[in-house]
Amino acid sequence: MQYNPNNLNFAKTMRSNMTKEELVMWQYLRAHRFLGYKFKRQVLIGDYIVDFLCPDKKLIIELDGGQHNEPNNIINDKKRTIYLENNGYTVLRFWNNEVNNNLNGVLELIKTNLEQ
C-alpha cells in the first residue's frame, strides 16, 4: 500500500521517541517474540502512521493516551479506523492505562486476534 512520503521523517522520529507504553508493548512484539509473528512499529499506511503492524495478519495495534479522548481526536480516530478497515486491516485500540494496568489482558486480546 502506498504511503505519504511527507510522513516518513515523522515516523522515524516517532520510532526514536516511543512512549513508555509503546516501549513496553514493543518488548513483547519485537523480533518475532509474540507467537512467532513479525511486527513493525510506526508504519506508514496511506496518510497515517500506525503504532504497530503485523503485516502477515494485517493486524494494527494502536496505543492511545488521554489526548485521544478529546472530541476532535475521537472523530479523527474513527475516520482513521474506517480507512484502515476499508483497506483490509483489523485495528485494535488500547488505552495507555490498559497497558499499564492490564498488560496480560491486552496481550491475550492480541493473541486471540492473531489466532483467528
Q: Give the residue-averaged pLDDT of 27-52.
A: 92
Residue 8 cell numbers, joined: 516518513
Task: Label residue 13 by pLDDT band (50, 70, 90).
Answer: low
pLDDT bracket for residue 63 (50, 70, 90)? very high
Q: What is the pLDDT of residues 81-97, one digit of tens each?
A: 999 999 999 999 999 99
Contact (CB, 8 A) for 91 and 113: no
Domains identified in the chain and CATH numbers: 5-76+91-114 (3.40.960.10)
Q: How confident is the model at residue 34 (pLDDT cuts 50, 70, 90)?
A: confident
Q: Grid cell 479523527 — which residue? A: 76
Please answer whether residues 41 and 22 qualify as being in contact, where contact means their C-beta atoms are separated by less than 8 angstroms.
yes
Q: Residue 70 pLDDT > 80, yes or no? A: no
Inter-residue contact 110 to 61 (CB < 8 Å): yes
Classify the C-alpha dihedral 17-113-84-93 as positive or negative.
Answer: negative
Cell numbers of 25, please? 508493548
